[in-house]
């Protein structure tokens, strides 16, 4: 059953399998084997070719002959070796490790050194391919293997695709600085037509909801303290008389300041409504002189971008940035650290691939998965959250791919610094969240940062992708405006990969 399963994986799914065994009947099942003794490769090739090269008839006798020729100290066995007797290694698969054929017959015993199955004892398997085609083939082998592992691990796959989507939807619909249904009450001490006309715009505003008036100002302040209302409007006695006489009067706005941002927004809305009422009142003045004296200057503000001034339109591009830097980085780091924990990274030592090929092969599946996740996030932002994409779609997608490469390369760099999956999770969370939330332009423009804060912001890929994401969604920019962010993200991806290659090589 075990060997049938290995054969199915090798023949039907194209999986390369390494098997270590002491039994020649098991080695004979393999496509290609390498016989070793004292840590030295004696010969490599197909089992039948090795047996025919010695004229032994079977692999067991051929192996004994190879041991004798290598000058083994122990007496060659005359029967099937036990599990602890001999240490050859074999592997099977539809892909083979390139072997250099030895042509050196100087130290060759009594056998044909030119046989394609023969590798002299003092020769070693070359550890790196030289041609571009073979180099890319080894990268593809690692990438395909990692992609198969991702496809089989449904939990990681679901987390990679649904995790960013859940983060975007939760953040977009729960984190909003827009205020609605602000409850307010009015104490009208004047009770004239002028005071009622002053209150009417608040009653018709969509963000305000009026409650019955309190009996006194003290009761109104109690309502503010217990959270029943957030705004109390106190119209003084003689309000209409003062206006009719052309004199200025004051209206008290008492605002709940427990939440500063909400309090500032309520104050801005209330002040705007009061100012508009004053302008309309001045326009009805009998004399132009009185109108100019009451409202000497008229200020009209207009938002150039995000004209509806909805915080969701500003937050969603930043949430996409957070999801893209956090989850792909974490998954990539876990992919390498997991191999360390279970010991499968030893395959790198036995393969002819370089460290760079291994890292690039590990990165590509996660970068592709992150790019797919980015496309789904953009579609969700436009169709579900309702954020308009005003800029160039290809320009945004190009920035997303470069950001995915930078994020996954950062994950590989983190994986070279930690030894456990728990450490990788915490390391990626701290490394990604703190700079991305505080120094990337998510909460305030990066141009306002100074000193070390600015250095952290400009030195982390999140801030550069935030320029692309916000520019494409809110400002309608195209690829020409993103040349510098493109170059910086590409350079960061290469830098992170180079550092990961250097650190992993030192550890090997």
For residue 424, what are its two tokens?
A: 């990788």
Buried (b) or exposed (e) across 76-86, using 16+ Cβ within 10 A? eeeeebeeeeb
Read off the pLDDT of residues 322-343 as tens digits, 9 standing for 90 and up.
Answer: 889 988 999 898 888 888 777 7
Whether the CB-CB separation of 362 and 332 falls below 8 Å is answered with yes
Q: Which of 501, 457, 464 is nearest to 483 (CA)?
A: 464
Which pLDDT belongs to residue 506? 54
- Mean pLDDT over 27-54 rounds to 84
319: three-class secondary structure by DSSP? helix
DSSP 436-453: HHHSSSSSS-GGG--HHH
Angstrom distances, CA of residue 311 to CA of 138, 168, 318, 464: 48, 14, 11, 21
Q: What per-residue confidence (pLDDT) applies to 396?
A: 93
The secondary structure element, H or E, covering residue 185 is strand 182-188
**Residue 44, SS3?**
strand
3-state secondary structure 456-492: HHHCCHHHHHHHHHHHHHHCCCCHHHHHHHHHHHHHH
Query: Which tokens in the block code for residue 164?
Result: 């960013």
Query: How many of the other CB atoms lie within 10 Å of CB of 71?
Result: 9
| For the ranges 79-93, 154-168, 392-406, 472-486, the one whose mean pLDDT is highest | 392-406
Q: How far apart are CA 333 and CA 408, in angstroms?
A: 8
Is 245's pLDDT higher than 50?
A: yes
Q: Which domains does the chain have, with CATH numbers?
A: 2-126 (no CATH), 150-173+310-507 (no CATH), 182-294 (3.40.1710.10)
- Give the 3-state secondary structure of residue 344: coil
Q: Average the pLDDT over 88-111 and give the result.
A: 36
Token look-up 């008389």 returns 241
Q: Which residue has the tokens 């691939």?
A: 353
- Token readout for 83 is 């599990």
**Distance of alpha carbon 499 from alpha carbon 409, whole angstroms:** 9
- What's the whole-model pTM score? 0.60
CB 407 within 8 Å of CB 494: no
Rounded-to-integer distance, Cα 234 and Cα 220, Å: 9
Whole-angstrom distance, CA of residue 124 vs CA of residue 505: 20
Q: What pLDDT score was predicted for residue 258?
A: 67
Question: Among candidates 160, 45, 23, which has minimal Cα distance to 102?
Answer: 45
| Across 131-135, 308-312, 386-390, least confident range | 308-312
When pLDDT is averaged across residues 111-125 and rounded to a whole number, the result is 40
pLDDT of residue 167 exceeding 90, the answer is no
- Looking at residue 304, its pLDDT comes to 44
Residue of 360 and 102 predicted with greater confidence: 360
Task: Return d(Cα 430, Cα 441) in angstroms, integer.
Answer: 18
Query: For the chain, what is the largest distance between any 2 Cα atoms, rounded to a whole number of angstroms?
Result: 125
The full 3-state SS of 4-38, as one line of letters, equals: HHHHHHHHHCCCCEEEECCCHHHHCCCCEEEEEEC
Q: CA 204 to CA 207: how far, in whole Å?
A: 9
What percent of the chain has a predicted confidence (pLDDT) above 70? 78
Q: What are phi and psi of 422, to 5 degrees?
A: -65, -45
The listed range with the strongest mean pLDDT (146-155, 174-183, 221-230, 373-382) is 373-382
Instruction: Compute the distance between CA of residue 93 and CA of residue 105 in angstroms, rounded to an integer.
Output: 31
């Amino acid at each position: 059953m075990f060997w049938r399963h290995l054969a199915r994986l090798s023949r039907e799914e194209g999986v390369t399998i390494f098997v270590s065994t002491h039994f020649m009947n098991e080695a004979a099942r393999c496509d290609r084997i390498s016989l070793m003794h004292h840590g030295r490769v004696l010969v490599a090739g197909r089992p039948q070719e090795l047996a025919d090269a010695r004229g032994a008839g079977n692999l067991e006798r051929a192996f004994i002959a190879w041991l004798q020729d290598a000058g083994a100290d122990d007496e060659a066995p005359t029967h099937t070796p036990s599990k602890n007797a001999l240490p050859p290694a074999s592997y099977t698969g539809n892909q083979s490790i390139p072997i250099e054929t030895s042509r050196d017959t100087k130290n060759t015993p009594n056998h044909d050194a030119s046989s394609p199955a023969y590798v002299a004892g003092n020769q070693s398997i070359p550890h790196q391919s030289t041609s571009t085609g073979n180099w890319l083939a080894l990268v593809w082998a690692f990438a395909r293997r990692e992609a198969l592992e991702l496809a089989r691990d449904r939990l990681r796959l679901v987390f990679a695709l649904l995790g960013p989507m859940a983060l975007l939807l939760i953040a977009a619909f729960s984190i909003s600085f827009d205020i609605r249904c602000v409850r307010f009450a009015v104490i009208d001490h004047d009770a004239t037509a002028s005071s009622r006309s002053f209150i009417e715009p608040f009653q018709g505003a969509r963000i305000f909801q009026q409650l019955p008036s309190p009996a006194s100002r003290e009761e109104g302040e109690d309502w503010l303290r217990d959270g029943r209302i957030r705004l109390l409007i106190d119209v003084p006695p003689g309000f209409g008389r003062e206006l009719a006489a052309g004199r200025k009067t004051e209206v008290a706005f008492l605002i709940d300041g427990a939440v500063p941002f909400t309090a500032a927004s309520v104050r801005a809305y209330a002040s705007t409504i009061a100012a508009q009422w004053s302008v309309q009142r001045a326009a009805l003045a009998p004399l132009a002189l009185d109108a100019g004296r009451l409202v000497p200057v008229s200020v009209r503000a207009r938002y150039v971008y995000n004209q509806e001034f909805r915080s969701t339109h500003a937050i969603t591009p930043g949430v996409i940035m957070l999801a893209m830097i956090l989850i792909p980085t974490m998954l990539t780091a876990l992919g390498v650290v997991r191999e360390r924990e279970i010991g499968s990274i030893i395959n790198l030592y036995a393969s002819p691939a370089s460290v760079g090929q291994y890292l690039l092969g590990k990165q590509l599946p996660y970068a592709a998965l992150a790019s797919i996740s980015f496309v789904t996030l953009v579609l969700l932002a436009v169709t579900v959250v309702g954020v308009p994409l005003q800029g160039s779609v290809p320009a945004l997608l190009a920035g997303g791919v470069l950001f995915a490469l930078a994020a996954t390369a950062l994950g590989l760099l983190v994986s070279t610094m930690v030894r456990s999956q728990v450490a990788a999770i915490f390391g990626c969370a701290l490394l990604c969240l703190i700079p991305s939330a505080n120094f990337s332009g998510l909460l305030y423009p990066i141009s306002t940062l100074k000193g070390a804060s600015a250095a952290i912001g400009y030195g982390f890929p999140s801030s550069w992708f935030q320029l692309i994401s916000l520019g494409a969604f809110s400002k309608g920019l195209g690829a020409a405006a993103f040349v510098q962010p493109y170059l910086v993200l590409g350079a960061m991806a290469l830098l992170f990969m180079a550092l990961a290659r250097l650190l992993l090589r030192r550890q090997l």
